[in-house]
């Protein structure tokens, strides 16, 4: 079998690798997953057509042509030693895969005889380790799993580099799904729990400095759900079971699930303004990974009110919202901004949502257009001068509920207060059924088995406040059957 020599690439440098870990560490559950994964991968390797094709084939490097070893048949008598070698390789691979910020990709593997003798010898059989290294190098599964970098010695510098295996994406995905890759590998620390503070708070600012003070009053009847709900939320076991390594790497800094497991209600400047629920560590997770939350070992779902801010404007005005997607507007000025393909429609919707968000956050058209100009400049390739056009397009379609001219203050102050009251009612309805939900403003996360109870409670809480105003509910589920 012939390998392309990649030793001149930066990936061959020593700072991308760690030595093969000589000892297996981690808890009993992890070590069981490790052993199970080794047997599973061993079966995949010894039955792989590409591996079988290269049995008794010499392993060499393209440029040098030097023999590196021979892939032997997989005999039953070698099983124990081969599994032991594979366990050590998987442990080392899982370790570098779990250390995303270190940008490690390779394991340096000693194959010379002197690594297997003496007091510091590896607890492995030399022939078995070589066998599994060469087998992984040719194993294909659903693509290339590992790249072999042969050992090298520089006569001029006297520096030698051991044989290396570099992880490829299919192998990383497999390690993750086998529960071998996780934050803090191999012995993760228990999540830090923030000390719970007052349940009612007021957030204010003074010359740009924000501060929070407790609101000292008795809980309202609708707020009385928070203490007993917090007691139940504190008992929940929260975990993330991601379906692919790319998600793990991109969102690595959010995976520790550190912080509070309880809620508080926070007003802005004074009581009656805003009042949304904050505090639970799940609320800071990116939306891309929230579908893969598990609560007490069970999958979760998230349900949210569709277009709640806009629908609230219509509901407060006593007007029925127009049918169809309120953000996908037909206007003769729009084709100059984006076309009609799906990606362009998504851009158009995001622009219209930005108009709404900035409109409810400002008191007039001038302030909103200025904020929207900054958004276009920072977040899109569109000209900031289009801000006024986008504003006029959106509010010409929703003119009856435009907050500018109809509201004395920015609309968000009341809208957030109303959605917080609805959220508190949803939490109460669910709690009384033994369901303990985690709110994220206008959405709620529960175990997937409680989906029906959640959507029913959301409809009931909305209709109690706005019996004549319809609203939709969207449910987000994992798009992959995560293991």
Q: Is the pLDDT of residue 231 over 70?
A: yes
Separation of alpha carbons 414 and 408, rounded Å: 11
Token readout for 460 is 């009931």
Token readout for 232 is 């139940």
Q: What is the mean pLDDT of residues 91-120?
A: 90
Q: Is the pLDDT of residue 170 over 90?
A: yes
Longest dimension (CA), the chain: 85
What count of Cα atoms within 13 Å lies in the side-chain half-sphere of residue 297? 0
Average pLDDT, the chain: 88
Which range has the worst mean pLDDT, 96-100, 123-127, 258-262, 411-415? Answer: 258-262
Token readout for 331 is 């206007």
Q: Is the pLDDT of residue 367 over 80?
A: yes
Give the model's pLDDT for residue 5: 39
Q: What is the mean pLDDT of residues 185-190?
A: 88
Check residues 150 and 88 and name the one with the higher pLDDT.
88
Give the model's pLDDT for residue 331: 76
pTM of this prediction? 0.85
Helices 412-431 and 226-233 meet at what angle, rounded to 10? Answer: 70
Give the model's pLDDT for residue 400: 94
Q: What is the mean pLDDT of residues 176-194?
A: 88
Q: Which of the given ranges, 120-129, 180-189, 428-437, has the highest pLDDT on average?
A: 428-437
Domain locations along the chain: 2-177, 200-311+410-476, 323-397
Cβ 140 vs Cβ 48: under 8 Å: yes
Phi-psi region of 163 (alpha: psi -120 to 50; beta: other; left: phi over 0): beta
The rounded percent of the chain whose pLDDT value lies above 70 is 89
């Amino acid at each position: 079998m012939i390998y392309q020599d990649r030793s001149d690439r930066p990936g061959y440098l020593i700072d991308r690798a760690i030595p093969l870990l000589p000892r297996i560490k981690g808890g009993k559950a992890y070590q069981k997953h490790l052993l199970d994964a080794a047997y599973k991968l061993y079966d995949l390797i010894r039955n792989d057509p590409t591996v079988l094709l290269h049995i008794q084939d010499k392993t060499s490097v393209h440029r040098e042509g030097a023999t590196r070893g021979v892939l032997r048949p997989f005999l039953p008598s070698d099983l124990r030693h081969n599994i032991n070698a594979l366990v050590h390789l998987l442990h080392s691979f899982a370790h570098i895969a779990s250390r995303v910020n270190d940008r490690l990709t390779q394991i340096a593997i000693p194959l010379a005889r002197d690594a297997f003798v003496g007091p510091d010898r590896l607890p492995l059989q030399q022939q078995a380790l070589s066998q599994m290294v060469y087998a992984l190098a040719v194993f294909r599964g659903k693509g290339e799993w590992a790249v072999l970098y042969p050992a090298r010695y520089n006569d001029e510098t006297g520096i030698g580099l051991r044989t290396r295996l570099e992880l490829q994406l299919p192998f990383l995905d497999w390690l993750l799904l086998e529960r071998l890759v996780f934050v803090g590998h191999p012995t993760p620390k228990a999540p830090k729990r923030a000390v719970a503070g007052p349940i009612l708070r007021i957030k204010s600012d003074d010359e740009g400095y924000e501060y929070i003070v407790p609101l000292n009053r008795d809980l309202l009847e609708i707020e009385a759900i928070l203490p007993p709900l917090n007691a139940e939320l504190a008992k929940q076991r929260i975990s993330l079971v991601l379906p692919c390594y790319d998600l793990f790497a991109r969102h690595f800094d959010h995976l520790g699930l550190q912080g509070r497991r309880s809620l508080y209600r926070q007003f802005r400047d004074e009581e009656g303004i805003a009042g949304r629920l904050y505090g639970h560590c799940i609320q800071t997770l990116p939306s891309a990974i929230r579908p893969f939350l598990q609560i007490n070992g069970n999958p979760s779902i998230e349900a949210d009110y569709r277009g709640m801010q806009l629908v609230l404007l219509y509901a407060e005005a006593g007007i029925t919202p127009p049918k169809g997607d309120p953000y996908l507007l037909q206007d003769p000025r729009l084709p100059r901004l984006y076309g009609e393909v799906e990606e362009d429609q998504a851009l158009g919707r995001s622009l219209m949502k930005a108009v709404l968000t900035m409109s409810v956050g400002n008191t007039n058209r001038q302030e909103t257009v200025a904020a929207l100009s900054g958004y276009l400049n920072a977040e899109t390739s569109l000209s900031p001068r289009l801000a006024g056009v986008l504003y006029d397009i959106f509010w010409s379609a929703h003119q009856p509920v435009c907050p500018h001219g109809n509201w004395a203050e920015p609309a968000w102050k009341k809208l957030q207060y109303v959605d917080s009251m609805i959220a508190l009612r949803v939490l109460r309805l669910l709690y009384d059924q033994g369901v303990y939900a985690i709110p994220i403003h206008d959405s709620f996360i529960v175990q997937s088995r409680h989906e029906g109870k959640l959507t029913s409670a959301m409809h009931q809480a909305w209709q109690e406040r706005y019996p004549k105003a319809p609203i939709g509910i969207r449910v987000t589920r994992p798009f992959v059957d995560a293991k």
